[in-house]
Chain A
Amino acid sequence: MLDMKNFKARIEEYQRNFDSAFRKVKNGKSLQELRNTYLSRKRGYLTLLFKELKTLKHEEKPEAGMMINNLKIYIEEKLQSLEDKYRVAEKAVKKTDFTLPGIQRYWGAPHPLRLFQEEIENIFLSMGYSIEEGPEIETDYYNFEALNFPPHHPARDDWDTLYLTDDLLLRTHTSPVQIRIMEKRKPPIKIIIPGKVFRRETSDPTHLPMFYQVEGLVVDKGITFAHLKGTLEYFLKALFSEKIKIKFRPSFFPFTEPSAEVDIGCTVCEGKDKECRVCGGSGWKELLGAGMVDPQVFKNVNIDPEIYSGFAFGLGIERAAMFAYHINDMRFFYENDLRFIRQFVLK
């Protein structure tokens, strides 16, 4: 039977023994051994001492317990003081080189045109537009006539067309989808229409026989040219930069009246380089066609132009992407060179 006096002596002895052993510690291994001797959860001296507590009288237990604890804290602190000196330093010798390359999962890259299209879509989605699509093979009616191109009008020459039959063609713009939507839906209409379009053109750095467009259409009561301007300015600033310069000038499209061409200020040369490859020295780059929906187009879809008005615009995605990334050849988008595509994984 252990009494309190005895117990105290044991504690003091342990501490003395530990102190002398501690002074002899020379390396991490002996440090660990010393730790085990005193603190091992199974056979450490202190662990055993704790087990002996139960042989003390009930009223002595708290004080004794506190003594063991104090000793434990004392030993732990002492051991810890040498920990850095020996253990970490020795561990470093065997340590794996963590600067070796990590394992990167191979992740596929989206095509840059799709990325850019998504950026455009997201801006309009945030403004409450919805996205619509339509067929790529169209009839003469939807591609031309309903959009106020009279048969045999030379305006058609500006939209060089690939024909499949007398009546069927590859759509030259996304505008026919305007007609298809207005035919089946009542205003308010607020949509964008991304999609492939086709022209009878030979490929060169600035022309392709197939490219992507995004068309926009808003129809409601009280829609004005000022709304068109505000919308496109917001869009272009969001897409390029807050600082982009924007210019509207009169133009002609059979399906809008008044019509406008929208130019943006060249961000490469800012109009200072007469030989600029992006803007050709003019300081401006033609980017969008736009205008107020022509009254004849409204009549063709049974919407009363006296009650409703609307605006429409169209943008070539390749052109915009070329401008944004300073890509100087449109054909790069369709070569599908993976070194080109994979650059755009994370912009």
Chain B
Amino acid sequence: MKVSLEWIKEYVEVNLPLSALIDKLNMIGLMVEDWEERDGDVILDIETYANRPDTLGHLGIARELAVGLGLTLKERDWPLTTSPEKTSDLVDIKILDADLCSRYCGIIVRNIKVEPSPEWLRRKIDAMDINSVNNVVDVTNYVLLSTAHPIHAFDLAKIEGKRIVIRKAQKGETLRTLEGKDVPLSPGMLVIADKKRPVALAGIMGGEESAVSETTQDVFIESAWFNPVSVRKTCKETGIQTDASYRFEREADLAFPPRAALMAASLLTQLGGKATEGIIDVYPRPKKSIKIVLRHHRIVELLGMDIDENFVQVTLLNLGFNVDVQQSGTWQVSVPLFRVDVQREADLIEEAARFYGYDKVPSTIPPLSVPELSQDKKKERVNTVRQLLFHNGFDEVINFSFSDPDKETVFLSQQKEITIRNPVSMKASRLRTSLLGGLLENISWNKNRGAEGVHIFEIGNAYFWYDKNVHEELMLSLATTGLIGQLHWQEKSEEINFFHLKGACEFLMNFLKYRPFSFQEEDHDYFEKGYSLALIYKGEKVGYIGVIKDKILDVYSLDEVVCAAEISLAKLFSKQPQSFQYTQVTKFPSVSRDISILTDRSVLYQDIKNEIEGLSIPFLEKYELYDRFSGSTIPEDKVSLSFRFVFRHSQRTLLAKEVDVLQDKIIKKLKSSFNIQLRKRGEIDK
């Protein structure tokens, strides 16, 4: 809200240096966001709050300032030059919906010459960056900016039947705006109508047909109270917002309409008009002010600081509250109707604190208490995942949760995506169903800026409809392309490949103790056919890993191979990891056996692994595939695999004979399941 210091001074004698004034305003909660000196005046831009419509005018700001500085708020008189005609003889006002219009006041000013405003008025209107229109319109704006109460001036001659009816619009009615546009009105909207038709959208704007113009002689001044929700709904529906509606939808002062009408009439008579006798005031159900009991000890309990009883009382009185001492330390406070924000004791305590000064509140730390501890292990696990991935050379990224439907479609599998109703742009009009789109975007960004390798991950939610419910699923996505590490004189740098990524996933699963886990060949929408695996834990597919489809790479303008994985941490974390049990380190030595086999290329490693593990060989501590070989010494459809098996007994040294038996068992099983041949020193065993 723009505030002119000169204007403020009409209400309160402020004589502070500007910086001290700004500090004071800030410390009582009126944040000065900006200010400028203009024509000997100072224009402040003050942040106002949605619950304080009373500060949307100079009077309200001045009232706060007066209390803050211990000064007196000056009241101005609004004398009228009246004609003997009675207002009520000239116009008839009827409220048909008292819920939506609780009060309606009117007065007429006759023989007005509509012309440019006098200098003093222009200056005020200009200071507020509002266009000066003519003396009548400027007066209505002056009243609004002074008091925060919006009023409206009609050309009396254009009000048919000299009747003002406040009613809901009827189907098919329209109102022509000042810009000449016909706004269709719907039956819920409150309008001001004359005998025949709506002449104004209540609390929002007047129509063109009844507007004050150069030919206007007599003006009907409306000063009313309209229901905030009704005004707001109509604004939303019509898309029209005005300075008046901004104030009405925050709730205007129900006590103020007669005074605003008087003020406008007084100003217009000063400009040469003559007011009619008496303000019509239709106020069917006068509202009583709220009464709140304020206990002094509650101030101490809530603020952790004592505020002198007298200070509390004086502050509230000066702010316009009525304060009755009920007994020592207890007041009954009546709230003026312009303070729509004050309804409870806590609201009054804030008033006391605000003017006493937040800076006077001491700083202490709450005493120790024993709150219930969170049982959620998710955060901890997510953190472990991150650390493991850093260790594997993956950088962390965070992308927006939005997605671009043009691009996201390549990631749509079975999920039903969630659309934002009122997106900022089409490119961010959906919620992502996969994190991979963002990662590919990041790869593209970094590649375009010279990165040779990009290895990144993101942990965050994917979103989709699940039945009729929205579903957020915590995902981990990884994507990797190009060189890993830096060039080094001793080590050669490596091109990332699928097995780096798979290794990172295996590393993760092992460290988090989600084992045994397995991979299974499975096609997936994100990946090239035949180049993807499903990650399986406890019988459920928890993720996919593979080589991103060329078609998808094209969408992100990428031309290098990108390997990627997406693992549902939500699914994984819902399952129990292997429980941890300490085992004593044994002092007995292990026995290693190397076995090289020749197998058909079509046999999958995962299947061999499953067979070996299915045997549950005793004392088998671990086994590793340490060589894989194909070439001229081996038939084309075959591949040589070399395993090292490590056996160990925890209580004694194993005998060679015992290990021979176990080794034979493995070989026998592999022979029967996969038709393998043994290789010894390059010789192929029959």
Contact of B372 among A110, A185, A198 (CB under 8 A): A185
Q: Are A103 and B359 in contact, with the CB atoms below 8 A?
A: no
Contact of A131 among B249, B367, B374, B455 (CB under 8 A): B374
For A292, list chain B residues within 8 Å (CB): 302, 346
Known: A152-B232, A154-B250, A224-B303. A201 touches B364 (CB 8 A): no
| Bound complex: CA A113 to CA B346 (Å) | 36
Per-residue CB proximity of A323-342 to B under 8 Å, as 1/0? 00000000001111111011
Known: A106-B484, A107-B393, A163-B421. A230 touches B302 (CB 8 A): no
Q: Are B363 and A226 in contact, with the CB atoms below 8 A?
A: yes
Residue of B nearest to A210 (CB): B400
Residue of A nearest to B52 (CB): A252
- The answer, yes or no, to whether B585 is at the interface (CB within 8 Å) is no
Known: A152-B229, A189-B371, A257-B346. A110 touches B396 (CB 8 A): yes
Which of these binds chain B: A16-24, A54-62, A258-266? A258-266
Contact of B302 among A132, A157, A225 (CB under 8 A): A225
B27 → chain A, closest Cβ, in Å?
6
Residue of A nearest to B491 (CB): A103
Which of these binds chain B: A2-10, A35-43, A79-87, A133-141? A133-141
Q: Are B365 and A338 in contact, with the CB atoms below 8 A?
A: no
Q: How large is the interface on A (under 10, 10 to 19, 20 to 34, 35 or more residues)?
A: 35 or more
Contact of B470 among A114, A168, A230, A234 (CB under 8 A): A168
For A300, list chain B residues within 8 Å (CB): none
For A227, list chain B residues within 8 Å (CB): 304, 364-366
Extra inter-chain contacts (9) besides given A109-B396, A168-B470, A233-B363, CB under 8 Å: A103-B488, A128-B371, A153-B228, A158-B50, A164-B421, A225-B303, A226-B305, A305-B346, A337-B449
For B421, list chain A residues within 8 Å (CB): 162-165
Q: Are A200 and B424 in contact, with the CB atoms below 8 A?
A: yes
Q: Are B398 and A113 in contact, with the CB atoms below 8 A?
A: yes
Q: Are A334 and B400 in contact, with the CB atoms below 8 A?
A: yes
Q: Are A257 and B424 in contact, with the CB atoms below 8 A?
A: no
Residue of A nearest to B368 (CB): A128
- The answer, yes or no, to whether A28 is at the interface (CB within 8 Å) is no
Per-residue CB proximity of A240-270 to B under 8 Å, as 1/0? 0000000111111010011111000000000
For B457, list chain A residues within 8 Å (CB): 108
Known: A110-B390, A225-B361, A250-B29. A190 touches B302 (CB 8 A): no
- The answer, yes or no, to whether B233 is at the interface (CB within 8 Å) is yes
| Bound complex: CA A130 to CA B485 (Å) | 38
- The answer, yes or no, to whether A231 is at the interface (CB within 8 Å) is yes
Per-residue CB proximity of B256-300 to A under 8 Å, as 1/0? 000000000000000000000000000000000000000000000
Q: Are A164 and B418 in contact, with the CB atoms below 8 A?
A: yes
Per-residue CB proximity of B445-489 to A under 8 Å, as 1/0? 110010100111100110100000010100000000000111011
Report 16 cross-chain contacts, Cβ distance below 8 Å, ordered by A residue.
A130-B371, A130-B373, A132-B376, A152-B232, A157-B50, A162-B421, A191-B371, A225-B353, A231-B365, A233-B363, A234-B365, A248-B359, A250-B29, A258-B302, A337-B446, A341-B397
Q: Are A258 and B353 in contact, with the CB atoms below 8 A?
A: yes
A158 → chain B, closest Cβ, in Å?
6
| Bound complex: CA A231 to CA B507 (Å) | 41
Per-residue CB proximity of B364-408 to A under 8 Å, as 1/0? 111111111110101100000010011111111111111000000
Known: A108-B396, A154-B250. A230 touches B363 (CB 8 A): yes
B323 → chain A, closest Cβ, in Å?
19
Per-residue CB proximity of A101-138 to B under 8 Å, as 1/0? 10111111111011000000000000110111101110
| Bound complex: CA A251 to CA B395 (Å) | 40
A154 → chain B, closest Cβ, in Å?
5
Q: Are A338 and B451 in contact, with the CB atoms below 8 A?
A: yes
Residue of A nearest to B401 (CB): A210
Q: Are B390 and A107 in contact, with the CB atoms below 8 A?
A: yes
- The answer, yes or no, to whether A312 is at the interface (CB within 8 Å) is no
| Bound complex: CA A128 to CA B354 (Å) | 30
Per-residue CB proximity of B336-370 to A under 8 Å, as 1/0? 00000100111101100110001101111111111
- The answer, yes or no, to whether A220 is at the interface (CB within 8 Å) is yes
B176 → chain A, closest Cβ, in Å?
27
- The answer, yes or no, to whether A92 is at the interface (CB within 8 Å) is no
For B114, list chain A residues within 8 Å (CB): none
Known: A224-B301, A292-B302. A209 touches B344 (CB 8 A): no
Q: Are A231 and B232 in contact, with the CB atoms below 8 A?
A: no
B403 → chain A, closest Cβ, in Å?
12
For A131, list chain B residues within 8 Å (CB): 374, 379
Interface residues of B, Cβ cutoff 8 Å to A: 26-29, 31, 49-52, 228-229, 232-233, 246, 249-250, 301-305, 341, 344-347, 349-350, 353-354, 358-359, 361-374, 376, 378-379, 386, 389-402, 418-425, 428, 442, 445-446, 449, 451, 454-457, 460-461, 463, 470, 472, 484-486, 488-491
Per-residue CB proximity of A304-325 to B under 8 Å, as 1/0? 0100010000000000000000
Residue of B nearest to A311 (CB): B366
Residue of B nearest to A185 (CB): B372
Known: A162-B422, A209-B424, A227-B364. A132 touches B374 (CB 8 A): yes
Q: Are B303 and A108 in contact, with the CB atoms below 8 A?
A: no
Q: Are B359 and A336 in contact, with the CB atoms below 8 A?
A: no
Per-residue CB proximity of A272-296 to B under 8 Å, as 1/0? 0000000000000000000010111
Q: Are A336 and B229 in contact, with the CB atoms below 8 A?
A: no
Q: Are B376 and A249 in contact, with the CB atoms below 8 A?
A: no
For B49, list chain A residues within 8 Å (CB): 155, 251-252
- The answer, yes or no, to whether A180 is at the interface (CB within 8 Å) is no
B372 → chain A, closest Cβ, in Å?
6
A298 → chain B, closest Cβ, in Å?
10
B129 → chain A, closest Cβ, in Å?
21
Q: Which of A171-225 contact B (CB under 8 A)?
A: 185-191, 196, 198, 200-202, 209-210, 218, 220, 222-225
Residue of B nearest to A128 (CB): B368
Contact of B349 among A152, A168, A196, A258 (CB under 8 A): A258
Q: Are B349 and A209 in contact, with the CB atoms below 8 A?
A: no
Q: Are B489 and A154 in contact, with the CB atoms below 8 A?
A: no
Residue of B nearest to A151 (CB): B229
Known: A218-B366, A230-B363, A251-B29. A224 touches B304 (CB 8 A): yes
Q: Are A201 and B424 in contact, with the CB atoms below 8 A?
A: yes
- The answer, yes or no, to whether A93 is at the interface (CB within 8 Å) is no
For B486, list chain A residues within 8 Å (CB): 104, 106
For B451, list chain A residues within 8 Å (CB): 338
Q: Are B29 and A249 in contact, with the CB atoms below 8 A?
A: yes
Q: Are A249 and B27 in contact, with the CB atoms below 8 A?
A: yes
Contact of B401 among A136, A222, A229, A341 (CB under 8 A): A136
For B51, list chain A residues within 8 Å (CB): 155, 252, 254
Q: Are B419 and A164 in contact, with the CB atoms below 8 A?
A: yes
| Bound complex: CA A196 to CA B459 (Å) | 12
B343 → chain A, closest Cβ, in Å?
9
For A294, list chain B residues within 8 Å (CB): 346
For B395, list chain A residues within 8 Å (CB): 108-109, 338, 341-342
Known: A170-B420, A250-B29, A335-B445. A155 touches B302 (CB 8 A): no
| Bound complex: CA A190 to CA B369 (Å) | 9
| Bound complex: CA A50 to CA B396 (Å) | 68
Residue of A nearest to B236 (CB): A152
Contact of A336 among B304, B379, B392, B397 (CB under 8 A): B397
Q: Are B250 and A222 in contact, with the CB atoms below 8 A?
A: no
For B233, list chain A residues within 8 Å (CB): 152
